[in-house]
A and B are shown apart, each in its own frame.
Chain A
Amino acid sequence: MNSLILLLAVLANIATVLCWHRQGRAGAKARLSFILAGIAAFAISCALLAIPYAWSRAPFIALGLLGLSGWLHVFARPLWLKSSS
């Protein structure tokens, strides 16, 4: 059960990064939506991590995961784009 929660938390963190990436290239209306979605995804990640780790530790873990998700997205994206093209 905990593994599933952690997996969902990781996915929510990656969603945060993707939303933030998309907001930079979106129009005014869509931009706000992406920003709100990104914040919501991060909050969900924190809430999920709080289940096994409690609220006193969850934000720290979520912020650490956010850094890793950012690296994963930025460094893996060119490889993914290259292989898909």
Chain B
Amino acid sequence: MQRDTTKKFYIVHSWLGVITGILLFIVAFTGALSVFGHNELKIWSHEGIRSDVSEDYMAIESLVRQHVAEVDPEYRDHVRIILPGQSSATSLFIAFEKDVELENGQHEHHVIAYRHHPQTLEQEDVFKGSLMEWFTSGATDMADFMVTFHADLHLGNPWGLVLTGLLGLTLFASVVTGVIIHRKILKELFSFRPLRSLRLLITDTHKVLGVWGLLFHGVIAFTGAFLGLVLVLLVPAAAFVSFAGDQEKLVETFIPEIEPAITGEAAEPRTGDILTAFRNANPELRLVDINIHGWGDKAAIMAISTLGGDTLAASETYEFNAVTGEEQKRYSTFGKHDSVTGSLLDAMYPLHFGNFGGVFVKIIWSLLGIGTALLAVTGMMIWIERRAYGPEGSLSQRAYHRISRFTVGSCMGLVVGSIALFYAQLLLRVDDQSFGFWLGVIFFGSWLAIIGYALAIDNSYKSIQSLFLLCGLMALGVPLANALVTGDALPLAFAEGKMVTAWVDASLLVIGGFLIWASRKLPAERPASSSLKRQRPTPQTSELLEESL
């Protein structure tokens, strides 16, 4: 490739990175946490599901029968049972749905949902309203807050989704241009010179993070762009091209609804027996929800949605005859549409969130996600370093220092805000409806406070050191706060079998210890040997390019 072309790609790579660098860090870091959002952080956030939730399926069946007798027969066409502690539900829900035609000709799902305690199965409340109202009525917790922030930065649909989708595209473009400009990519796999100079340390770290994590960064960027843009752009566009703009028809084609062939012959579904047999046959699967269509008919279908099967698709559904218990079908989310497209669509979500192989894969994905976040930070550092202390750039050194301080505050502030969410989850005493709001106040408030602190301190090295120490101490304090507030001290949690809670606390102790160790190792000021003589005003991109290659 010609040198000029490489230089152009280098410029594109550099500017793409610096424009989106902080946002990429935000999305990548929250992504690394969101991997554990459902269900590890969910379980940690709710005392009711920390220990074993009820798996007494016969008792659940008798509750369903009790509610079936209470509701209007029109609601019995679709019975939904959502089991607690499996994905995002923190209580047992037994819901009955009916389709209502509105005055304007549109359809709306109405629902009656009974909420039961996850362990005692005691009824807690009943919800009546539209399906959409029911979905939005639940209390937000720190796990939901983090996952939603990763998905749309709390800007909602469409702006938030478009923004994160575009960030996925820019990351993908950065990966491609990075590969093009680093022609000696395989030789640089092991090039790490931490003791030569600060600039080499940052540059080598950026390259090593980029090259070894290349496939991951590319996959996460592509799937992130897809997931961000699918609802807002891709579905409407595909519907426009192939279904005359009818989006519902497109969705029905890819995810057809379950429709039992109603016989009119009455028969009692055997929910409890089927669930017990299924659980015994598949002890490794998480049973998320059960949908029974055509309740009371001989041909009623019972569909069990599961997580953790042996395919790449995150979720698999097993269809049974609800009366005889005979297995009829088994398919993934898009598996009914038997095509390559269906398999590709099925792979998008699990490849992005790493939820296709239990905690082991989640840890791998989370660590690689931290790598993506660090890739963005080191890219920013290289950009600033070359302008504040090198020949590039047209602003004053003071201006670049200000950008550097803002970057430090934004990135470290996000880490502080994320750890503050753990405290907020434990200590906030407000009603369910305003819980999400106060989580936001604490998260964004602490983030802004750290940005203010970083901007106020002249020496970025000193502020990074202090903020690492702060993060470390905060992380160490979470298990202590958890022990004081909920009584689940780490040894007790292990002893009582609250393994998820115990492992989250133990992980925070390790992370806290690492951050404190790192704060002691980080320099308190810029190493003198790293200062390059400023050679302005002649920018010599070609020389720097040579170094970077």
Query: Taking beta carbons and an 8 Å cutoff, which residues of A are in contact with B?
Result: 6, 20-21, 24, 53-54, 56-57, 60-61, 63-68, 70-71, 73-75, 77-78
Given contacts A56-B310, A68-B368, A73-B190, 12 further A-B contacts (CB under 8 A): A21-B189, A53-B357, A56-B311, A57-B310, A57-B361, A60-B351, A60-B356, A64-B364, A67-B215, A70-B208, A74-B192, A78-B194
Residues of B within 8 A of A70 (CB): 189, 208, 211-212
Instruction: Count residues of B near A (Cβ-Cβ below 8 Å).
Output: 29
- Chain B interface helix/strand/loop/mixed: helix
- Chain A interface helix/strand/loop/mixed: helix
Task: Report the separation of the CA atoms of residues A64 and B368 in the bound assembly, to the nearest whole angstrom.
Answer: 8
Task: Report the separation of the CA atoms of residues A67 and B214 in the bound assembly, to the nearest whole angstrom.
Answer: 8
Is B513 interfacial (CB-CB < 8 Å)?
no
A–B pairs, 15, beta carbons within 8 Å: A21-B189, A21-B190, A56-B312, A57-B310, A57-B356, A63-B215, A64-B364, A65-B364, A68-B364, A68-B368, A70-B208, A70-B212, A71-B212, A75-B208, A78-B192
CB–CB B360/A75 < 8 A? no
Is B371 interfacial (CB-CB < 8 Å)?
yes
Residues of A within 8 A of B368 (CB): 64, 67-68
Task: Report the separation of the CA atoms of residues A73 and B208 in the bound assembly, to the nearest whole angstrom.
Answer: 11
Q: How far is the CB of B413 from chain A (nearest CB, A)?
A: 25
CB–CB A64/B365 < 8 A? yes
Residues of A within 8 A of B215 (CB): 63, 67
Q: How far is the CB of A11 from chain B (nearest CB, A)?
A: 15
The 4 closest A-B pairs by CB, nearest first: A70-B212, A54-B310, A64-B364, A67-B213
B310, B356, B357, most chain A CB atoms within 10 A:
B357
A64, A66, A70, most chain B CB atoms within 10 A:
A64
Residues of A within 8 A of B351 (CB): 60
Query: Taking beta carbons and an 8 Å cutoff, which residues of B are in contact with A?
Result: 187, 189-190, 192, 194-195, 205, 208-209, 211-216, 310-312, 351, 354, 356-357, 360-361, 364-365, 367-368, 371
Residues of A within 8 A of B208 (CB): 70-71, 74-75
Residues of B within 8 A of A77 (CB): 192
> Which of A57, A68, A75 has a CB less than 8 Å from the CB of B357?
A57
Task: Report the separation of the CA atoms of residues A78 and B462 in the bound assembly, to the nearest whole angstrom.
Answer: 25
CB–CB A74/B189 < 8 A? yes
Which residue on chain B has the smallest CB distance to residue A53? B357
Task: Report the separation of the CA atoms of residues A11 and B195 in the bound assembly, to the nearest whole angstrom.
Answer: 28
Which residue on chain B has the smallest CB distance to residue A73? B190
Which residue on chain A has the smallest CB distance to residue B208? A74
> Which of B189, B205, B211, B312 has a CB less than 8 Å from the CB of A57?
B312
Task: Report the separation of the CA atoms of residues A60 and B216 in the bound assembly, to the nearest whole angstrom.
Answer: 9
> Which of B195, B209, B311 has a CB less than 8 Å from the CB of A54?
B311
CB–CB B364/A71 < 8 A? no
> Which of A61, A67, A68, A75 has a CB less than 8 Å from the CB of B192?
A75
Residues of A within 8 A of B190 (CB): 21, 24, 73-74
